[in-house]
Amino acid sequence: MARAALSTGAVVDIAVRVLDESGPAALSLSAVSGRAGVATPSLYKHVRNLAELRALVSARIMNDLAEQVGDAVLGRSADEAIRAFMTAWRQYVQRHPHRYSALIQSPEPQTVDAGTRLLAIITATLRAYGMEDSAAVHATRCLRAAVHGFSVLEAEGGFGLPENLDDSYDLLIEVIIAGLHAKH
């Protein structure tokens, strides 16, 4: 990439490629600048430090996840939307395990917009179950914990028994749906 084409967005693009190819441990300003063909100090025109780069990358990942999940639930409601939501989230992690493992899970100023977008998708999906306000917050936490936990365990090879993982995930979806109906 030519120096003239370098921008904050381009730096994030390169960082995401580093993640995809080498994993989160490989993400460094040096790795990004090497890929960009510039000296590391040149990156400081676009990002303050590695922490900011990680936050920007996390926002990109969260936006990508929100887009995929949002597209999946569009036009669906209730059980069908929950199935689509959970399936799309898992598929994102399966396709991009390194990106997902680099996602900052705690609130971060750079990720507020992306997190708000993802949260809006979840809460809209839960309205079909009559859940709003604090009930929606509790259900969102449970849904996120279930999807995140399964997906991370799967990506890290944490399921050693021979049973089919798709069958296990289908069961998890049904358990979540049953729980949402039980709270209705």
- Under 8 Å between Cβ of 102 and 19: yes
Task: Specify whether the CB–CB gap between 102 and 24 falls below 8 A.
Answer: yes
Q: Given this model, what pLDDT does residue 85 score?
A: 97
Return the amino acid letter for 140. Answer: T
pLDDT of residue 114: 86
Q: How confident is the model at residue 108 (pLDDT cuts 50, 70, 90)?
A: confident
Q: Given a cut of 90, is residue 170 above it in pLDDT?
A: yes
How confident is the model at residue 154, as a pLDDT? Answer: 97
Tell me what the pLDDT averaged over the chain comes to. Answer: 93
Q: Contacts for 74-78 with beta carbons within 8 Å, 24 or more apart?
A: 77/125, 77/128, 78/128, 78/129
Tens digit of pLDDT for each residue in 77-107? 999 999 999 999 999 999 999 999 999 888 7
pLDDT tens digit sequence for 4-37: 479 999 999 999 999 999 999 999 999 999 999 9
Average pLDDT over residues 118-142: 93
Find the mean pLDDT for residues 74-79. 95
Q: Mean of the pLDDT values across residues 110-137? A: 91
Q: What percent of the chain has pLDDT over 90?
A: 88
- The span from the CA of 122 to the CA of 117, in Å, is 9
pLDDT band at 178 (very low <50, low <70, confident <90, very high): very high
Q: Looking at beta carbons, which pairs linking 48-56 to residues 24 or more positions away fall under 8 Å? A: 52/110, 53/11, 53/12, 53/15, 53/27, 53/29, 54/27, 54/102, 54/104, 55/104, 55/108, 55/109, 55/110, 55/111, 56/8, 56/11, 56/12, 56/15, 56/110
What is the spatial distance between Cα 139 and Cα 45, in angstroms, rounded to a whole number?
A: 42
Other C-beta atoms closer than 10 Å to the C-beta of 159 total 12
pLDDT in the model for residue 2:
45
* Residue-range domains of the chain with CATH: 1-47 (1.10.10.60), 58-182 (1.10.357.10)
1 confidence band (pLDDT: 50, 70, 90) = very low
pLDDT interval class at 143 (50, 70, 90): very high
The count of C-alpha atoms lying within 13 angstroms of the C-alpha of 54, restricted to the half-sphere facing its C-beta, is 19
